[in-house]
Amino acid sequence: MFQSPDFKQLGKQIRCATTVDVKQALSTKRPDLNDLAALISPAAEPYLQQMAARSSEITLARFGKTTQLYAPVYLSNYCTNRCVYCGFSADNLIKRKCLTLEEAEKEAMILHGRGFQHILLVSGEAENAVNVEYMEAIALRLRDKFAAVSIEIQPMSTKHYHRLFLAGITAVAVYQETYDRDLYKKVHLSGKKRDYDYRLETPARVAEAGMREVGIGALLGLGDWRAEGLAIGHHLHWLRTKFWSTAFTVSFPRMRPATGEFEPLERVSERNLSQLIFALRLFDQDVGLIVSTREEARYRDGMLGLGPTRYSAGSCTAPGGYGDSDIDVDVDAEQFSVGDHRSLDEVSTMIREKGFDPVCKDWDCGFQIADN
């Protein structure tokens, strides 16, 4: 089992890094966890441009001039957890909705009609609304229509993940939110999510179940972002050692306004976010790095080719939001507000104008079915 290093020690290690450590980390071909600490440190800030150049070089070499595109489908905003930072928290008085199988398929097919081949099914964590049977039924409806169907729902057992894998789910994302154990208890007030270790062990259960790809990450704006970055590095390193044939991605969701008006506990600037992305790219050349529509169009355009490999586009974070033009996000509650409102076509055009290829399909779930 992965043992998360002491969060405060990670912060101390990072702040001890010197210019010499940063130069050593930049000169080595295969940075290790100590190098990652240096690259995330305040001492590395003057070297951001060099980090960007190296990160871009690696990204082009490993992924080519491509950016993968996907869109989320929000299935349900029911949630039994109380997370202080989330618009779906059980505390919040919002209009709750769980899509029927027909509605879920309709939402997905709207995205299909817009050109998406990769969708991410997202829901709040409420087993009485969204459970393995419901997800399996949706997966079976969508498996032949999409190249890749990923999920971001409540943590499950290995057995249930395997069942979803057989139904055509290709990837699972589960973010630790914060690797700081003490802070984790403070921001997760009640519900199953309060169990830090069960969540921490989830990526390993996903990989054990045979999923093709596992997504990890932390919600930036809760704890010390530098220590979160190093903790992600430790987790990723452990997962890679144990599950060498699984693909991994890291997401960097920065806190956005949401119902409940929770204010970020830590300010994470775009410059900080960029440093984190470049550092992780240097540390792990093959990891997929995801920047969602939480970020502004200007930032996402500027980061193209510098490290990230996958963008979401044309996203709505309220259940039923694609098909229902009457939806009022102030009443119907998005999980968070979106920073980049452009459509798939608009994002694809921007990518092409910058000399890259937008990729909607880089996998076919037929490969996955043939595996079994």
Interface positions with ligand SF4 (CB under 6 A) = 79, 81, 83, 86, 88-89, 124-125, 193
Which of 141, 147, 131, 202 is closest to 167 using CA atoms? 141
Partners of residue 171 on adjacent β-strands: 150, 213
Cβ at position 77, least distance to ligand SF4 in Å? 7
Supply the minimum distance, in Å, between the C-beta of residue 89 and ligand SF4.
4
Q: What is the smallest separation between the CB atom of 123 and ligand SF4, expressed in angstroms?
A: 8
Query: Shortest gap between Cβ of 168 and ligand SF4 (angstroms)?
Result: 24
Closer to ligand SF4 at the Cβ: 118 or 193?
193
Task: Kindly tell me which of 193 and 212 has the beta carbon lying closer to ligand SF4.
Answer: 193
54 in Cβ contact with 27 (< 8 Å)? no
Q: What burial class does residue 248 get, using C-beta atoms within 10 Å of its C-beta: 0-12 exposed, 13-18 middle, 19+ buried?
A: buried
Query: Do 4 and 179 form a contact (C-beta atoms < 8 A)?
Result: yes
Q: Which residues of 23-52 are buried (b: 16+ CB within 10 A; e: fewer)?
A: eebbeeeebeeebbbbbbbebbeebeeebb
Residue 317 C-beta: closest distance to ligand SF4, Å: 10
Select 83 or 99, whichever has its Cβ closest to ligand SF4: 83
Distance CA 170, CA 185 (A): 31
Cβ-based nearer residue to ligand SF4, 188 or 212? 188
Q: Is 359 helix (H, G, I), strand (E, B) or coil?
A: strand
Largest pairwise CA distance in the chain:
59
Instruction: Return the number of the residue (86 or 227) whose C-beta is nearest ligand SF4.
Output: 86
Q: Tell me whether residue 81 or residue 293 sits nearer to ligand SF4 (CB atom).
A: 81
Q: Which is nearer to ligand SF4, 88 or 243 (CB)?
A: 88
In the complex, minimum distance from the CB of residue 125 to ligand SF4, in angstroms, rounded to a whole number: 4
Residue 110 buriedness (CB in 10 A; 0-12 / 13-18 / 19+): middle
User: At its nearest, how many Å lie between ligand SF4 and the CB of residue 312?
Assistant: 17
Strands 148-152 and 118-123 come out as parallel
Two structure tokens written together for 83: 């997370």
- Closest listed residue to residue 203, CA positions, set 233, 241, 168, 176: 176
Tell me 115's DSSP state: T
Give the shortest CB-111-to-ligand SF4 separation in angstroms. 21
Region of residue 32 (phi > 0: left; psi between -120 and 50: alpha; otherwise: beta): beta
Rounded to the nearest whole angstrom, what is the least distance from the CB of residue 333 to ligand SF4 in the complex?
11
User: By C-alpha distance, which of 216, 218, 224, 239 is closest to 10?
Assistant: 224
Backbone dihedral angles phi then psi of residue 212, each to the nearest 5 degrees: -70, -35
Quick one: 21 or 332, whose CB is closer to ligand SF4? 332
Closer to ligand SF4 by Cβ: residue 150 or 246 = 150
